[in-house]
Amino acid sequence: MLKIKMTDGKIMRLNLGCGKDHKEGYINIDKISVPGVDMAYDLEKLPYPFKNNSVDEIYVSHILEHLDLPVKDFLEEAKRILKTGGIIKLRVPIGLNAMSIFHKKHFGVFNFSATDTSDLEQIELWKGWRVDSLKLGYLKCGKTWFINRFVEKLINKRTDIYEHSFLRYLFPANELIVKITKI
């Protein structure tokens, strides 16, 4: 195991597959060592170099779909290194848009309703986890960024209406934002 310094002496937070999105207070990990990356590590190699029950939080944004690692294996490894009560914040592609076609490998794992987690809780993959929140995300760039910010807030207040109406075709989400806790 590598010796890893805690981010603030007490709490260990990991930003896995950080790329250029370096987060303050996190250990920023990516495959290639570039400025801002605290640790170069191939996330497809298990086990990760962290002790059992040593991590408080894991942040993963749009990286799972790029790994040649089954989501099940990633979640099992995350469960190993997270403390009880530790959380994972996941952002994964989803929705009725062109990008979904390119992410079929992992898309099915996260292809559940943002309003109904009953199916999710039945999946073996999610045993040992509590789903804290599911939200739909929209692009925050391009010509329609200001509309997307408004739509995201509105849609996430009433995802039940959104998911069962024409709105999901008119305003397709591009990501699912999931917060889960190890129980």
Q: Is residue 6's pLDDT more than 80? A: no
In this structure, is residue 2 part of a structural domain? no
Assess if residue 154 is contained within a domain: no
pLDDT digits (tens, 9 = 90+) for 94-104: 754 433 433 34
Give the total number of structural domains in the chain.
1
CATH of the domain at 29: 3.40.50.150
The whole-angstrom separation of Cα 175 and Cα 183 is 25
Enter the pTM of the model. 0.78
Within a domain: 82: yes
Contact 109, 142 (CB under 8 A): no
Question: Omega before 47 cis (within 30°)?
Answer: yes
The mean pLDDT of 49-56, rounded to a whole number, is 97
Considering the domain boundaries, does residue 39 fall inside one? yes
CA-CA distance, 108 to 152, in Å (whole number)? 22
Task: Judge whether 108 lies within some domain.
Answer: yes
pLDDT in tens, 124-136: 566 788 888 888 7
Residue 34 lies in a domain: yes
DSSP-assigned letters across all residues of 74-122: HHHHHHHHEEEEEEEEEEEE-SSSTHHHHTHHHHGGG-S-SS--HHHHH
Which structural domain, as residue segments, surrounds residue 66? Answer: 13-138+174-182
Residue 118 pLDDT greater than 70, yes or no: no
Structure tokens at 42: 């191939």
| Residue 21 covered by a domain | yes
Residue 146 lies in a domain: no
Token pair listed for 109: 């794992």
**Is 90 exceeded by the pLDDT of residue 169?**
no
